[in-house]
Amino acid sequence: MVMRTAVALVCLFLISALRAQTADPQLLAEINKVKAIDNHSHPPKLVAPGEKDDDFDALPCDPLEPSDATTITRPGNPQYIAAWKALYNYPYNDRSPEHVKELLQSKQKVMQEQGDNYPNWVLDQLGIETELANRVALGRGLQPPRFRWVPFDDALMFPLKNSSLASESPDRKFFFQRETMLLRRYLKDIDRDGLPPNLQDYVVKVITPVLEMQKKNGAVAIKFEAAYLRSLDFGPAEHLQSVQQVYAHFVKGNVPLTHDYIRLQNFLFRTIAREAGRLGLPVHIHTGGGCGSYFMLMGSNPALLESILNDPSLRKTNFVLLHGGAGPFTKYVDYLLMKPNVYADFSEQTWLISTRKLSEILRDFLEWYPEKIMFGTDLYPNTPEINWEEIGWQTTQSAREALAIALTGMMQDGEITRERALELAHMALHDNAAKLYGWTTTAK
Is 406 within the bounds of a domain? yes
Q: Tell whether 65 is covered by a domain.
A: no
Q: What is the pLDDT of residue 1?
A: 56
> Is 373's pLDDT higher than 60?
yes
Asked, for residue 302, whether it belongs to a domain, the answer is yes
* d(C-alpha 56, C-alpha 104), whole Å: 22
- Residue 168 and residue 178 in contact, taking contact as beta carbons nearer than 8 Å: no
User: What pLDDT, in 10s, does the model give residues 152-171?
Assistant: 999 999 999 999 999 999 99
For 250-285, the pLDDT digits (tens) are 999 899 999 999 999 999 999 999 999 999 999 999
pLDDT band of 4, cuts 50, 70, 90: low
pLDDT at 11: 43
Percent of the chain with pLDDT over 70: 95
- Domain with 358 in it: 26-44+118-437
Give the mean pLDDT of 430-435. Answer: 98
Residue 9 has pLDDT above 80, yes or no: no
Residue 17 within a domain = no
Q: How many whole angstroms separate alpha carbon 104 and alpha carbon 387?
A: 11
List the beta bridge partners of residue 321: 285, 344
Band the pLDDT of 442: cuts 50, 70, 90.
low
pLDDT of residue 412: 97
pLDDT tens readout for residues 173-193: 999 999 999 999 999 999 999
Distance (Å, rounded) from C-alpha 225 to C-alpha 269?
12
Q: What backbone torsions phi and psi does residue 214 show, to the nearest 5 degrees?
A: -60, -45
| Closest to 81 measured CA to CA, from 390, 400, 350, 392 | 390
Percent of the chain with pLDDT over 90: 91
CA–CA separation, 336 and 41 (whole Å): 23
CA pair distance 318, 344, nearest whole angstrom: 11
Q: Is the residue at 200 inside a domain?
A: yes
pLDDT at 375: 98
Q: What angle do CA 78, 84, 86 make, to 5 degrees?
A: 105
Task: Tell whether the model's pLDDT for residue 204 goes beyond 50.
Answer: yes
Find residue 152's DSSP bridge partners: 223
pLDDT of 55-107, one tens digit each? Answer: 999 999 988 988 888 899 999 999 999 999 999 999 999 999 999 999 999 99
CATH number, domain at 250? 3.20.20.140
> Distance (Å, rounded) from C-alpha 225 to C-alpha 284?
9
What is the pTM (predicted TM-score) of this model? 0.94
Q: Chain-wide mean pLDDT for the chain?
A: 94
Read out DSSP for 8-37? HHHHHHHHHHHHHTS--HHHHHHHTTPPEE
Q: Is 138 in contact with 43 (CB distance < 8 Å)?
A: no
Question: For 57-71, 360-374, 423-437, which range has the lowest pLDDT when averaged over its residues?
Answer: 57-71
Q: Does residue 72 lie within any of the structural domains?
A: no
* 158: in domain: yes
Q: Average pLDDT for residues 404-432, to the nearest whole number? A: 98
Average pLDDT (337-349) is 98
Q: Does the N-terminal peptide bond of residue 43 adopt cis geometry, omega within 30 degrees of 0? A: no
Q: Is residue 83 part of a domain?
A: no
The verdict on whether omega for the bond into residue 145 sits within 30 degrees of 0, i.e. cis, is yes
Residue (of 276, 417, 436) closest to 371 by Cα position: 436
pLDDT at 330: 97
Band (pLDDT 50/70/90 cuts) for residue 221 is very high
Write out pLDDT tens, residues 288-336: 999 999 999 999 999 999 999 999 999 999 999 999 999 999 999 999 9
Sign of CA dihedral 264, 303, 230, 209: negative
Region 367-394: mean pLDDT is: 97
Total domain count, the chain: 1
At residue 2, the pLDDT reads 53
